[in-house]
Structure 1
Amino acid sequence: MNILLVDDEALELDQLEYIMKAHFPNWMFYKAQDASIALQVTEKVKISIAFIDIQMPGKNGLELAKELKNKYEMDIIMVTAFQSFEYAQLSLRIGVTDYVTKPIVESELLEILQRYKKWNSQSDSIQQVLLIFREEYHEKLTLSSVANRIHLNSTYLSRKFFEEIGIGFADYLNAYRLEIAKKLLTEHKEMSMAVIAERAGFNSQHYFSVMFKKQFQITPSEYRINPKRTREIIT
């Protein structure tokens, strides 16, 4: 299941992700620091729940929530530092599911997320695929080879994966590999781009660079110099 986190404060995004990932390890998190990036994410990925901060520069959270509700089927949870009756009324009119106040209290957030607990479990076959990704992302993994390993038809697995995860098999694998590459870029400054591409599972440095730039709007070299410049993060 895909979760969108929208807040102009990077620390707030990290905190939300940290709390939820510990309890919902199979969820995939997309983070955006403004409304425009959030809209770009929703155009590419089927989002199930969006956590949106109300106070943001440019288009505020309520405006973004209204636009998303008009375009897509998703649950929206507003995040605000202000316990305002007016905000609550506006949220209800838009059709948001709930709202949580800052600073985020883990117990309160988890209480809101109880209704989604059933979404945390995928079928055994998809769990097997995700485990293969985590353990063998650096190997050559194709839809047909993975399908054979778990004794499923590749067409069926492709459809099942998209239904349960909300993103295609290859897209998810690439996103996972890019996150591995980001860690290598920041933790191993001495490592060449070719080695990073290989260790992350990409078959060429050029393809790795193209995919990285497409996903994060920044080159791997630029990210290594200044990791904070990337505006969209998938984990």
Structure 2
Amino acid sequence: MNILLVDDEVLELDQLEYLMKAQFPNWTFYKAQDASIALQLAGKVKISLAFLDIQMPGKNGLELAKELKKNYELDIIMVTAFQSFEYAKASLRIGVNDYLTKPIVESELLGLLEKYQKWSSKNDSMQEVLSIIREEYHEKLSLSFVANRIHLNANYLSRKFYEEIGIGFADYLNAYRLEMAKKLLVNQRDMSMAVIAEKAGFNSQHYFSAMFKKQFGVTPSEFRINPKRTENQ
């Protein structure tokens, strides 16, 4: 299950992740420090549950919650240091699912998350798939290969993957590989494009470059010169 944590304070994000990870080791956490990054993440992966800080610079948590609820099927928990009835009332009008106040107490957080225990068990197979992609994206992965690894029918896995993640297996795999390639382009500036393509799991440099340009609007070489030029970071 994919969890989105949004707060402009890095320590708050890290604390939330730390408190939940021990209880829900199969959950995948995505962290954002503002609404724009949060919306980008929600557009790339299927978010099941989001924790949104209300007070953030730019678009605040309530505005973000309204936009997320409008465009995606997900549960939202608002988090704030201000125990305001107006905030709570506004959250309920948007349709958020619950409300937490800071400082977050572990027992309160885990109590609130009890109903999501069933999500964890139902999605174990999907978490296995995502773990394989994260650990072996550079290898020759296919849907049938992964399905065989986790003892599922390939057609069933294909359908369930789309239902749970929101995009097809091949599209997700390519998107993940491209994100890993971006890191290599920035961190390994002496590495050739051919080697980067291979390490990211692409069969050819030409295909890698074409996919990169299609996804981000710039070539790998252009991105390496100026990483901020990509359309979708």
Q: Report the TM-score range of the alignment, normalised by the length of the smaller protein.
A: 0.7 to 0.9
**RMSD across aligned positions (CA):** 4.0
- Contact persistence 1:2–1:166 (CA under 8 A): no
Distance 1:89 1:217 in 2: 42
Distance 1:219 1:20 in 2: 38
Distance 1:189 1:68 in 2: 37
**Where in structure 2 are the equivalents of 1:98-109 lying within 5 Å?**
98-109=98-109
Q: 2:2 aligned with 1:2, yes or no?
A: yes
Distance 2:108 2:189 in 1: 39
Unaligned runs of 5+ in 1: none
TM-score normalised by L of structure 1: 0.72
Change beyond 3 A, Cα 1:120–1:184: farther
Unaligned runs of 5+ in 2: none
TM-score normalised by L of structure 2: 0.72
The amino acid of 1:162's aligned partner reads Y
Aligned length: 233
Q: 1:15 matched to which residue of 2? A: 15
3-state SS, counterpart of residue 23 of structure 1: coil
3-state SS, counterpart of residue 96 of structure 2: coil
Change beyond 3 A, Cα 1:71–1:163: closer
Change beyond 3 A, Cα 1:169–1:26: farther
Taking only the aligned residue pairs, the percentage that are identical comes to: 80
Deviations 1:150-206 (A, max 9, x none): 554433221022234444323443455456557767887776665454334333456
Higher relative contact order structure (alpha carbons within 8 Å, sequence separation ≥ 6): 1
- Contact persistence 2:76–2:98 (CA under 8 A): yes
**Where in structure 2 are the equivalents of 1:1-235 lying within 5 Å?**
1-122=1-122, 125-126=125-126, 128-150=128-150, 152-174=152-174, 176-177=176-177, 194-204=194-204
- Contact persistence 1:122–1:164 (CA under 8 A): no
- Contact persistence 2:13–2:31 (CA under 8 A): yes
Distance 2:138 2:128 in 1: 17
Q: Which moved more, 1:74-83 or 1:125-134?
A: 125-134
Deviations 1:79-133 (A, max 9, x none): 1122222212222222211122334444432222222111112466545534533
Change beyond 3 A, Cα 1:131–1:77: closer
3-state SS, counterpart of residue 121 of structure 1: helix
- Contact persistence 1:47–1:166 (CA under 8 A): no
3-state SS, counterpart of residue 90 of structure 1: helix
